[in-house]
Structure 1
Amino acid sequence: MITPDYYYVIVGGGLAGLQLALRINRDLFFKGKKIAIIEPSDKSENDKTWCFWEEGRGNWDHLISREWKRGKFISSEVSEDLDLKPYSYKMLNSLDFYDHVKAELESSDDIFFIQDKITRIDQVTRTALGENAKYTATHFFDSRPPSEFENDEKCAVIYQHFKGIKIKTENAHFDPEVFTMMDYRIKYKESTCFTYILPTSKNEALVEFTFFTPYLTEEAVYDNKLEEYIRDILNIKNYEIIESEKGVIPMTDYPFHKFNTDYLTRIGTAGGWVKASSGYSFKNTETKVEQLIDNIKSGLRPSANLMNKKFQRYDAIFLDVLEKRNDLGESLFTKFYTKNSIQDIFRFLDEETSFSEELKIMMSLYHPQFLKSFFKKI
C-alpha cells in the first residue's frame, strides 16, 4: 500500500481549519502525524470580526480587542438594557487570530501550510485534487460548503449578510462600556434587518448593518442604511471610515452531516457548525473541535455526535418562520430579548438549557406562523 502524503489534510485555513489544526498540534496523541492545511489565501488581511459570549476567562482572552459586560437591544417600541454578568461579550479581530495560530503552527515539524485551491476530493483514492498539485491522506477535513444546500427545497436558508464600517469621530459619541446587539429603528422594506454597534472607545466604533433574509442585496443598500443610521440615529455628521468588512453567512437546517464518511469530515460552515438560528460560529467551532478530537481518540468516526438533534429542530422551526414571514423578525427578536433574561438566551443558544427552559423560550416567541413551521419541521 502506498503511504499517503499526509495523515490528515485540512481543506481551508479559516476559523474551523485553524482551530482544528491548533488543537491537534497541542495533543501528544497526534505527535508525528503529518498534517497539511491547504488554503488558497495567505490570510494576511483582517477580513472579519468574530464576537462571542463567555463566562469568565477563556482560551482567547490574550487576543480579544474588546469585551463588554453591558449591552442594548432596541426596537421601534422598546429599548432594553442587557446586564450580561457573569458573561462577557468578546470581540476578536480575525487577523490577530490568523497571525497567532499560524505562528504557533509554523514552529511545528508536523504541520505544513500549502497555498492551493482544492477542486475535488476523491475518497476512493483518498486524494485531494488542487489547482497546483494533488494530495493524499488517510482522512480529510473539508470546510468547503456543498453547493447543494442552497437548492434543497426541503430546507430553509436564511442569509446573514452585512457590511460594517469602523468609524472615527472628532467628538465623543459612544459609550465604550455598552455595545448594541440589535437596533431595528432603521428599516429596509418588510425584511429582518438591524444595526449592530461595537464601540471600542468614545470616538471609535464598528457600525454594521445586517440582514437575516432569504435573499441577498446590493452593496449600495448597506452603504445607504449605514449612512442613514449614523446621520439620523447617532447624530454624527463628520466621521472617518478607518476600515470596512462585509460577509455572507448561511443560516440553514440543511443536513450537512450526510456528507461525512469514514474518510471525510465536513467542518465549519460546511459541517453545519454555524449556529443556524443566530449565525454565531466562534465558540460553537471550539466546542465541535473538542468533540471531534475526543471522537478520534476514542476510536469513533470524527463526526460522531457532533450535532444536537433537539436544537437542530428548534433552529429549523425558527428559520422556517423567517423564510415564510421575514417581516416578523423585529417582533420575534423583541419578544426574545424582552421576555427572557440575556443569561437564559445565551444558555439556549449554547444548547445548555433544559426542556422546560426551552419550552418557556419557545412560548415567548409565539406567533401563528410558529405552529405552521412546527408541524412542517417536526
Structure 2
Amino acid sequence: MTPRNTGDSDVLVIGGGAAGLSLAHRLTEDGAATVTLVEPPDGPLRPAERTWCYWGAGVDGLEEAVSGSWSVLRLHGTDGRPVTVGPAPFTYRMVRSADFERMVHGLLGRTDRGRLLRATVESVRGVPGGAEVRCTLPAGRSLTLHARRVFDSRPLPGLPPARTRLLQHFRGWFVRTGTDRFDPAVADLMDFRVPQPAHGLAFGYVLPLAPDRALVEYTEFSRTVLSTRAYESALGHYCREILGLGAFTPERTEQGVIPMTDARFPRRAGAAVFRIGTAGGATRPATGYTFAAVQRHSRAVAATLRDGHGNVPAPHGRRALAMDAVLLRALDTGRIDGPAFFTGLFRRIPAERLLRFLDGTTSPREEWGIGLRTPVWPMLRTAVEVPFLPRRSEPAARIGGSGR
C-alpha cells in the first residue's frame, strides 16, 4: 500500500527550475496558498547550475538572488559599428540558479505555509477535488500527495506541432582575463561580428562581472545544434579574435537549448493540473526570453489564487504570439536579415519601449509604430502567409540550460 502524506497542500509545484522556484516564491510570499515544492533529488534529473537574465525596473523581490546588473546595453552590427543604449528605468539583471534556489528554499523554511520535498515524480492525475501526485523518495519509499491544484514545470517529451521551429542554442564560458578587459557597466546583448551561419544568425553575448571577469557566450538561432567542438571553436575565435581578451582562463562552462517556435503549448494537463515555464509556453518565440515571463506569470497565478478565480492566465497574450509567429517565419525563410533587423530596432526605437515590446507589454499603438520601423514588405508578405501554413511535428529536442 502506498502511504499518503498527511501534510498535503493547497498547491503542489513540480520542478526546481526557474518556473517552479518562481511560482513557489510568489505563492509563499503573497500567502496565496499553502505550497509544497517537489524537486528531484541529486542525480541525473537535477539540472546543472545555470544563469537566467531579464530586465527589470525598481524593486521586484529578487534582489537577494541578483548577482549582476547593467544599466547600459550594447549591440554590434556585422559592420562592427556599436549601438549603445541606456534603457532606464530598466536594468539588465542576472540571476544564478544556485542563488535563486537558496533564496526560495530559505523562504520555504521560514514559513509554515510552504515546504520543500526532494522526490522523483512518477505520475500526476486528476482526482475529485484536485489532483494526486505519486512520488518516489530518495530512499526508494513511495509517497502520494494531494493538492487542489498542481503546477508542473517538467519538460515535455516533445515539442507540439508548429509552423516554424528554430532553436536558440549556446555555450558560454565564465572567463577570467590576465588584465582588465571588460567594462562592468555595459552588457553586450548581441555582437554580430562573429561569422554568420548559412541559415539563421549567430552572435556573441558578454556579461561583465568585474573588469577581469565575464560570462561570454556564443549563440545561434538555427534549426540544429552544434557539436561541443564547434561551440568551443566559435567561443575561442570570439574571445581571441573579436574581443581581443589576450590571456584568459575559462573557469566554468554552461550550455543550453531554448525552443523558438510558434507551437501551441498546452497549458493544462487536467482540470486541476497546469503546465508552467517553457512546458506551458512561457518562452517568447522570437527571442527565447523566458525568465521575465515566468516572473510575470507567477505573480498573475498568485493573484488568481488569492482572489479565488478558477482560470489561470496565459504567460503571453495572443497579439504578442501572433507578432512573434510572423517574425520567426521571416527569420527562418531569410526574408529579413537577422543581424540587420535586431541592430536596426535598437538604433531606431527608444530602448525602454523596445524592451517593453520584447517583454510583451506595449500597447497596440506602440507596436504599430515599431512595425513601421521594420522591413515592411517582407513582414507583410509573411503575415499574409503564416495563417495558411500547416503545423507539423518534428523530432523532439532536449531543452534546458541557462535562460534569458
Say whether the fold is shared (TM-score over 0.5).
yes
1:200-235 C-alpha deviation (Å, 9 max, x unpaired): 111111101111222222121211111001111122
Task: Return 265-274 or 328-337, whichever deviates more.
Answer: 328-337
* CA distance in 2: counterparts of 1:28 and 1:234, whole angstroms: 48
* CA distance in 1: counterparts of 2:94 and 2:111, whole angstroms: 28
Question: 2:26: which partner in 1?
Answer: 23
Question: 2:159: which partner in 1?
Answer: 149
How do residues 258-277 of structure 1 correspond to structure 2 at under 5 angstroms?
258-259=267-268, 261-277=270-286
Q: How does the TM-score come out when normalised to structure 2?
A: 0.84
Tell me if the contact between 2:335 and 2:378 (Cα under 8 Å) persists in the aligned partners: no
Q: How does the TM-score come out when normalised to structure 1?
A: 0.90
How far does residue 41 in structure 1 lie from its aligned partner after superposition?
A: 4.4
**RMSD (Å), alpha carbons:** 2.5
SS at 2:146 equivalent: strand
Question: 1:115: which partner in 2?
Answer: 118
Matched, 1:47 2:55: no
Among candidates 65, 77, 91, match of residue 88 of structure 1: 91
Rate the CA distance shift 1:311–1:112 in 2: closer, same or farther, 3 A.
same
Give the gaps of 5 or more residues in structure 2: 388-404
SS at 1:353 equivalent: coil
Question: 1:322: which partner in 2?
Answer: 331
Amino acid of the structure 1 residue aligned with 2:54: F
* CA distance in 2: counterparts of 1:99 and 1:92, whole angstroms: 12
Rate the CA distance shift 1:45–1:215 in 2: closer, same or farther, 3 A.
closer
* CA distance in 2: counterparts of 1:71 and 1:275, whole angstroms: 20
Amino acid of the structure 1 residue aligned with 2:147: A
Tell me if the contact between 2:297 and 2:313 (Cα under 8 Å) persists in the aligned partners: no
Rate the CA distance shift 1:65–1:4 in 2: closer, same or farther, 3 A.
closer
SS at 1:187 equivalent: coil
* CA distance in 1: counterparts of 2:133 and 2:78, whole angstroms: 51
How far does residue 268 in structure 1 lie from its aligned partner after superposition?
A: 0.9
How far does residue 188 in structure 1 lie from its aligned partner after superposition?
A: 4.3
Question: 1:252: which partner in 2?
Answer: 261
* CA distance in 2: counterparts of 1:324 and 1:284, whole angstroms: 27
Rate the CA distance shift 1:282–1:147 in 2: closer, same or farther, 3 A.
same
Tell me if the contact between 2:326 and 2:379 (Cα under 8 Å) persists in the aligned partners: yes
Give the gaps of 5 or more residues in structure 1: none
How far does residue 124 in structure 1 lie from its aligned partner after superposition?
A: 4.5
SS at 1:256 equivalent: coil
How far does residue 116 in structure 1 lie from its aligned partner after superposition?
A: 2.6
Number of residue pairs matched by the alignment: 372
* CA distance in 2: counterparts of 1:237 and 1:90, whole angstroms: 27
How do residues 1-378 of structure 1 correspond to structure 2 at under 5 angstroms?
5-30=8-33, 33=34, 35-42=35-42, 47-77=49-79, 78-124=81-127, 126-132=131-137, 133=142, 134-150=144-160, 152=161, 154-190=162-198, 191-259=200-268, 261-304=270-313, 306-325=315-334, 328-366=337-375, 368-378=377-387
Tell me if the contact between 1:10 and 1:37 (Cα under 8 Å) persists in the aligned partners: yes
* CA distance in 1: counterparts of 2:369 and 2:187, whole angstroms: 27
Amino acid of the structure 2 residue aligned with 1:59: G
Rate the CA distance shift 1:117–1:236 in 2: closer, same or farther, 3 A.
same
Rate the CA distance shift 1:218–1:247 in 2: closer, same or farther, 3 A.
same
Rate the CA distance shift 1:299–1:109 in 2: closer, same or farther, 3 A.
closer
SS at 1:147 equivalent: coil
SS at 1:118 equivalent: strand
How far does residue 305 in structure 1 lie from its aligned partner after superposition?
A: 5.1
* CA distance in 2: counterparts of 1:219 and 1:129, whole angstroms: 37
How far does residue 325 in structure 1 lie from its aligned partner after superposition?
A: 2.7
How far does residue 170 in structure 1 lie from its aligned partner after superposition?
A: 1.2
Tell me if the contact between 2:54 and 2:292 (Cα under 8 Å) persists in the aligned partners: yes
Amino acid of the structure 1 residue aligned with 2:112: D
1:44-94 C-alpha deviation (Å, 9 max, x unpaired): 987211221122343222332222111211011232111222221122222
Question: 2:392: which partner in 1?
Answer: none
Amino acid of the structure 1 residue aligned with 2:103: H
* CA distance in 2: counterparts of 1:246 and 1:326, whole angstroms: 29
Amino acid of the structure 2 residue aligned with 1:325: G
SS at 1:175 equivalent: coil
Tell me if the contact between 1:260 and 1:303 (Cα under 8 Å) persists in the aligned partners: no
Amino acid of the structure 1 residue aligned with 2:57: E
SS at 1:26 equivalent: helix
Give aligned-pair identity as a percent.
Answer: 28
SS at 2:326 equivalent: helix
How far does residue 260 in structure 1 lie from its aligned partner after superposition?
A: 5.2
1:31-50 C-alpha deviation (Å, 9 max, x unpaired): xx3x3222224599872112
How far does residue 300 in structure 1 lie from its aligned partner after superposition?
A: 2.3
SS at 2:65 equivalent: coil
Task: Return 250-259 or 18-27, whichever deviates more.
Answer: 250-259
Tell me if the contact between 1:163 and 1:208 (Cα under 8 Å) persists in the aligned partners: yes
Tell me if the contact between 2:72 and 2:84 (Cα under 8 Å) persists in the aligned partners: yes
